[in-house]
Amino acid sequence: MNIGHQLSQSAARWPDKTAILFEGKSYSYAAFNALANRAANAFAAKGIRPGDRVAFLTWNLPEQVASFYGLLKMGAVPVPVNYRLASNELKFIIQNAEARMVVFDDDLADRVAQIVPDLDVLGYVNIGTARPGFATEFHEFIAPAADREPPTGAGWDDIAFIMYTSGTTGLPKGVLRSHRAEIIGAMMTAQEIGFRHTDICIHNKPLFHIAQLQLQVLPFIMLGATAIITRGFDVDETMNHVVDHRVSVLHGVPTQLVMMMQQDLSKYDLTSMRTGFFGGQNLNDETTRAAMALFSDRFLNLFGMTEALTCTGIDYKQRPDRLGSVGHELASVQMRLVKPDATDPRDIAAPGQIGQVIAKSPAVMDGYLGLPEKTAQVLKDGWYFTGDAGSLDDTGALYVHGRIDYTIKSGGENIHPSEVENVLFRHPAIRDAAVIGLPSAKWGDMVCAAIVAKDPGLTAEALDRWCRESPDLADFKRPRRYFFVPDIPSNSTGKVERNKLKAHLLDALDAPLD
């Protein structure tokens, strides 16, 4: 059994049912399975073998998802890459994963072209019409291939995906996700959220994030449900899809839900929306209650991560007295709190104290690609040490208080301060710098930088230009506010005291950040 086989099963059971809708085009399960098979056989003809990795730098597209399933059937490993990263970061991931081919869409063609001289791959496939000379257009690539099922090349314990997530040093880490973990995780998700064969959802979050794959794509294909794929998120487009296609399930990151609640939604018929869910960071109570009112049945907050998938969940419509909580363990998940600096899963935190959240389930990762020491640090006797600080209420429901160390969660993205600080420190007019997240109604955390300047003439505009022009900093990691300060608070060992800095900068604000 592997993930790709689940598409084959759904195509056999419901061949004429709509699997995918995209920009006015509809794919039945039979047609979508045939597309996946042609992709698999085309990759095999190019030299891709079981265990080989293929990198994807694309917006959400049907050809992308079909290629994922085709590769999974034959035992190869899709590597979805965050297309928002800077060119040097893209190159690092492709090389680190030892990808044998690269698939990209038109919007990424120029950036891929920049790194082609540094890559050693079998070939490039372009989804779209850009047709750069170094790549083959996708439909031309698969045209000679048969649509028969490819030989099964992967089993239950083989690696299915490598998903990259930022590390504590800012370097991305490749998370090894097995077919077993992904299938069990999808089943756990479907049970917790209550997905149905008749459901229709919208895939409008990037597929390089595990949440979109695990919370929607995999369980929906497994159940034979229908998905509307969009290239990205737009409130009006999303609401029009809900109206036109009677969407029943909607998944949003908090930033998207905030954007939705800022619009006049009364002009849309949203009565089809049965279930909503979100995760990544908490919403304020006002936004949570407004979002809850959109759904007739359930509105869930889910807590998880790339390494362990969804660990806990809570339905706020059933427990409005627990807003802010991320709930209890899912089926097949064990969760506990250990002391913040614990390295042993038996080192339990004292009752009522904040501790580090650790989790154990069949959906936990196999480890980090090429990082055995880091893997050993976070995996102990099957327990994954999340690095998240949490506490439990009197019912055992979990509340998450941020990172044991520190990560900025902005617009659904995890940003490590050191990634930004390393770029700022290169500026000749900066003496010292520290990056933190400040509360923002829209972004959850807004990336902000405190600057100790050597040159009193240094401006925020000059720093913004510096960051925009850096090849090592993706645009979404760029600070949105700069604060010029006389010094950066630090402890006796020289580590930045970010909580003190955050309090100081909040006091300096004349108005809340938008």
Crossing angle for the helix pair 62-74 and 3-13, to the nearest 10 degrees:
110
What is the distance between the alpha carbons of residues 204 and 230, in angstroms, rounded to a whole number? 5
Question: Which of 497, 305, 282, 446 has its CA nearest to residue 388?
Answer: 305
Phi-psi group of 167: left, alpha or beta (phi > 0 → left; psi -120 to 50 → alpha; rest → beta) = beta
Distances (CA, A) of 83 to 6, 91, 108, 452: 27, 11, 7, 32
Q: Strands across the sheet with 172-178, in order?
A: 159-166, 172-178, 367-368
Task: Using alpha carbons only, give the angle 179, 183, 185 rounded to the nearest 5 degrees.
Answer: 115
Q: Tell which of 129, 155, 181 closes a domain.
A: 155
What would the DSSP string read from start to end of 471-505?
TTS-GGGS-SEEEE-S---B-TTS-B-HHHHHHHH
Q: Is residue 394 a part of any domain in this protein?
A: no
The pLDDT value recorded for residue 13 is: 98
* Count of domains observed in the chain: 2
The pLDDT value recorded for residue 281 is: 72
What is the distance between the alpha carbons of residues 145 and 130, in angstroms, rounded to a whole number? 22
**What number is the average pLDDT over the span 159-175?**
82
Cross-strand pairs, 277: 251, 300
Quick one: pLDDT band at residue 262, thresholds 50, 70, 90?
confident
Q: Is residue 497 a part of any domain in this protein?
A: yes
Indicate whether 493 pLDDT > 80: no
Q: Tell which of 111, 134, 155 closes a domain.
A: 155
Average pLDDT for the chain: 93
For the domain that residue 460 is a member of, what is the CATH number? 3.30.300.30
Quick one: pLDDT band at residue 168, thresholds 50, 70, 90?
very low
The pLDDT value recorded for residue 202 is: 96
C-alpha R_g of the chain: 23
The pLDDT value recorded for residue 73 is: 97
8 Å CB contact between 356 and 337: yes
For the domain that residue 129 is a member of, what is the CATH number? 3.40.50.980
Quick one: pLDDT band at residue 406, thresholds 50, 70, 90?
confident
106-135 pLDDT, tens digit per residue, is: 999 999 999 999 999 999 999 999 989 999
Indicate whether 19 pLDDT > 50: yes
Burial class (CB within 10 angstroms; exposed 0-12, middle 13-18, buried 19+) of 383: buried
What is the distance between the alpha carbons of residues 33 and 148, in angstroms, rounded to a whole number? 9
Indicate whether 293 pLDDT > 90: yes
Quick one: pLDDT band at residue 499, thresholds 50, 70, 90?
confident
383-396 pLDDT, tens digit per residue, is: 999 998 889 999 99
The pLDDT value recorded for residue 454 is: 87
Q: Is residue 397 a part of any domain in this protein?
A: no
Q: Is residue 349 a part of any domain in this protein?
A: no
Q: Tell which of 107, 131, 155 closes a domain.
A: 155
Query: In sequence order, which residues have a C-beta less than 8 Å from that of residue 67 and are 6 or more positions away?
Result: 36, 39, 43, 54, 56, 78, 103
What is the distance between the alpha carbons of residues 187 and 199, in angstroms, rounded to a whole number? 15
Q: Percent of the chain, pLDDT > 90? A: 77
Please tell me which of 313-317, 403-407, 473-477, 499-503 the model is most confident about, judged by mean pLDDT.
313-317
Q: Percent of the chain, pLDDT > 70? A: 98
Indicate whether 469 pLDDT > 90: yes
Question: Which of 258, 260, 257, 250 has its CA nearest to residue 295?
Answer: 250
**What number is the average pLDDT over the span 332-352?**
94
Quick one: pLDDT band at residue 153, thresholds 50, 70, 90?
confident
Q: Is residue 12 a part of any domain in this protein?
A: yes
The pLDDT value recorded for residue 494 is: 55
Query: In sequence order, which residues have a C-beta less than 8 Å from that of residue 461 and are 6 or more positions away?
Result: none
> What 3-state class would DSSP assign to 328?
strand
The pLDDT value recorded for residue 495 is: 63
pTM of the model: 0.84
8 Å CB contact between 264 and 272: no
Q: Is residue 60 a part of any domain in this protein?
A: yes
The pLDDT value recorded for residue 170 is: 60
186-229 pLDDT, tens digit per residue, is: 999 999 999 999 999 999 999 998 988 999 999 999 999 999 99
Indicate whether 166 pLDDT > 90: no
Q: Is residue 435 a part of any domain in this protein?
A: yes
20-44 pLDDT, tens digit per residue, is: 999 999 999 999 999 999 999 999 9
Least confidently predicted of 86-90, 143-147, 367-371: 86-90
Distances (CA, A) of 172 to 100, 375, 416: 19, 14, 10
- Where in the sequence is the domain holding 121, given as residue range(s)? 1-155
Q: Is residue 13 a part of any domain in this protein?
A: yes
91-108 pLDDT, tens digit per residue, is: 999 999 999 999 999 999
Other C-beta atoms lying within 10 Å of the C-beta of residue 214: 24
What is the distance between the alpha carbons of residues 476 and 413, in angstroms, rounded to a whole number? 8
